[in-house]
Amino acid sequence: MTKASPLPLVGVPACVRDVDGQPFHTVGDKYVRALAISAGVAPLMIPSLGEDLLELRRLLRSLDGVMMTGSPSNVHPSHYGQVETPEAEPFDPARDATSLALIRLAIEEGVPLLVICRGFQELNVALGGTLHARVHEVQGRMDHRRPQHPELDVQYGPRHPVKLRAGGPFAALAEAAGIGGELMVNSLHWQALDRIAERLVIEAEAEDGTPEAVSVKDAKAFALGVQWHPEYKAWENPFSRQLFEAFGAAARARAAGRPSDDVFPLAALGQA
């Protein structure tokens, strides 16, 4: 009997939100659904308990990939050397304490990494970059915020083109999807990358110069990020499908090579 291939596990750090006066750890359905359907992996929510309570390096040994999601919250300005202002709110310090460390460790350990929207901004901050708190107020930039419309298909519908860097990984994915050097993407963000971290390569830009996609230089494994939301009905969009399939392939490659005894012990969560 042929041994079945291991099902790749992809960790997804949660946001912490107040529900009736109590903190809840949450992950949006569209993200985990895209992972299951379009990447063919099993999503695993990581509670945002911070690096002190979660032994993140040991946790990564049990994971075949990490995906950072979007969120209504923003990275706290203190993480990129700026002062807290109302313009940069709302914040989620618990997620910051988990995601920023996890991004750095995933890159260091060669764990496949896909980051989206807030995750895109987290990646830049984790590697030493900075952010615009309200990019629509920066001279020469267009309004990248979510359309004020009740239907999700409109909110997440195509808004503007992005130009792909020739010869880069996003250009290769676009070619595989039968698309040229430009993509039409959705746009639902207030914040944007300002100073780009030295380890990042800009792979796509909007017409106003806003960075929309990046890769990590000299990454040991898949390490890509986008400012838009490819997870929304990813299986219906040729490029999004290619992106998630490529991430899933990277996770399966790691799962196939990971020792079967690389298991995260419950004791590490204080649950033994």
E strand or H helix at 252: helix 238-257
Cα separation, 170 vs 210, in Å, equals 16
Longest CA–CA span in the chain (Å) reads 64
What are 183's two structure tokens? 């993509």
What is the set of active-site residues?
Answer: 117, 229, 231
The rounded distance, in Å, linking the Cα atoms of 135 and 143 is 8
Bridge partners, 225 (sequence order): 115, 214
Q: Where does residue 268 rank: exposed (0-12), middle (13-18), buried (19+ CB within 10 A)?
A: middle
Note the residue count of the chain: 272
> Within 13 Å and on the Cβ side, how many CA atoms surround 31?
26
> Cα(153)–Cα(247) distance, rounded to whole angstroms?
24
